[in-house]
A = this chain, B = another copy of it.
Amino acid sequence: MPENNNEIPDIVIGRLPLYLRALQYMVLEEQMVTSSKELAERLGISAAQIRKDLSQFGEFGKQGTGYQVEFLIKKLRQILNVDTIWDVIIIGAGDIGHGIARYPNFGAQGFRVVAVFDNNPNKIGTKIGDFSVQDSAVMPAIIKQSNIKIAMIAVPASQAQLVVDDLIQAGIKAILNYAPITINVPKGIQIQYIDPVMHLQKMTYYLK
């Protein structure tokens, strides 16, 4: 869980990307105005919660007239710091590494994959889309040289902590970890986990 140094709870921040995604679909559908009620129906979050979350950042809608979709998207992108493009690297060129390297939605959402690394000689030099897999040995130099702050790791669980330690040492500040293991990071470093087991176990609770 990321540290939160201001007054807005981490859980609120975690919902903003969901709102942003729902609003972006409305743009595709050429919808100009929405309401907390409509967002609530799309997302399964209560309208009161959505209004409360958004009101923490400003006055984005009007009672009775709702939210201007494009305006709210712009504001959410500013709040989440994705009104810019972040360079992201991937470590691990296995199936998941391939999948995220080819993921089509990063560009529109504020991210650009700029390099893929692996320490397996059989993978170094192979192509993933437009990328040649690079040797992990050059990773720290590239992170520093290009001032990269974000990494996604898709390496075996046994290697994940060592990779993260190297990444942080080189200057990475935010890590999305696909390896099924909890990683220790110092204060001030963001880490998020993607683990299908966590999601499946949450759902089986409800499958009695």
Which residues of chain B are within 8 angstroms of A203 by Cβ–Cβ distance?
2, 150, 174, 176, 190, 192
| Contact B14 A11, beta carbon cutoff 8 Å | no
A32 at the interface (CB under 8 A from B): no
| Contact B99 A95, beta carbon cutoff 8 Å | yes
Copies of this subunit: 2
| Contact B44 A198, beta carbon cutoff 8 Å | no
CA distance A109 to B152 in the complex (A): 24
CB distance from A4 to the nearest CB of B (A): 8
| Contact A207 B94, beta carbon cutoff 8 Å | no
8 Å CB contact of A110 from B103, B105, B180, B204: B204
Which residues of chain B are within 8 angstroms of A103 by Cβ–Cβ distance?
180, 196
CA distance A22 to B207 in the complex (A): 23
8 Å CB contact of A44 from B1, B17, B150: B1
Which residues of chain B are within 8 angstroms of A2 by Cβ–Cβ distance?
202-203, 206
A150-B200, A174-B207, A176-B203 known; 4 new pairs, CB 8 Å cut-off, are A2-B206, A106-B196, A109-B201, A149-B207
